[in-house]
Amino acid sequence: MEEMTAEQEAILENREDPNSLLAWDEYNSTTFTLHELDSHVVSKNFMPFSGGTRQRAGAEYSRVFMATFFHVLLTRYRRMKIKAGKIY
């Protein structure tokens, strides 16, 4: 998670406007994130659409959607450990 966060924060550091949306070239530059999505989410465990000719388009759409989701999650929100306790 730390490497993915560093990769996403590097995108923000290289931007002229840190509030702009994720650009296509920035998306393509996230090699670690895309590798993790391909190896753990999109390719093996998640079949976004039916098989056949539509499968590739569905897989690409899901890949872009998940990469954008992780970009927002990792750059706008912070994670912290909390004390263990009961969840009611």
Q: Which helix (H) or strand (E) holds 10?
A: helix 2-14
Give the count of beta carbons closer than 10 Å to the beta carbon of residue 73: 13
Q: Six-digit token pair at 66?
A: 């998940």
Query: How far is 85 from 69, CA to CA, in rounded Å?
Result: 29
Domain limits, the chain: 2-76
Please enumerate in sequence order all residues whose Cβ is within 8 A of that of 84, keeping only pairs 6 or more positions apart, or say none: none
pLDDT digits (tens, 9 = 90+) for 18-68: 788 889 999 999 999 999 888 876 665 555 555 555 566 677 888 889 999
Residue 1: the pLDDT is 81
Residue 38 near residue 47, CB atoms below 8 Å: no
Residue 58: the pLDDT is 72
Residue 78: the pLDDT is 81
Q: What is the DSSP letter of 20?
A: S
